[in-house]
Amino acid sequence: MKKIVVFVVLVAAVAAYSQRAAILAVVMARGLDARMNRNILASLDDGLHVALCGAGGLASGALGRSPL
């Protein structure tokens, strides 16, 4: 019985791995629709909001060079 369960799980894992691109496309489409259709500004209380794009990246050096 234990061997059958292991075999079924292994077959399911191989099938999921072989179809990972199709599964990812479906999951990403559903997640994108859910995120894009939601209005997050309605859940915020006050009128002061800041959106930072790319925050947390490495800062340039004094001469415009990367610190690395």
Domain ranges of the chain: 2-43
pLDDT of residue 64: 58
Q: Quote the DSSP letter at residue 60.
A: P
Residue 41's pLDDT band (boundaries 50, 70, 90)? confident
Tell me how far apart the alpha carbons of residues 21 and 32 are, in angstroms, rounded to a whole number.
Answer: 16
Amino acid 25: pLDDT: 93
Tell me how far the alpha carbon of residue 4 is from its chain's centroid.
34
Q: What are phi and psi of 6, to 5 degrees?
A: -65, -40
Q: Model pTM?
A: 0.46
> Would you give the distance in Å from CA 44 to the centre of its chain?
23
Better-predicted residue by pLDDT, 3 or 52: 3
In this predicted structure, the answer to whether residue 67 has a pLDDT above a threshold of 60 is: no
Identify the helix (H) or strand (E) that includes residue 15.
helix 2-18
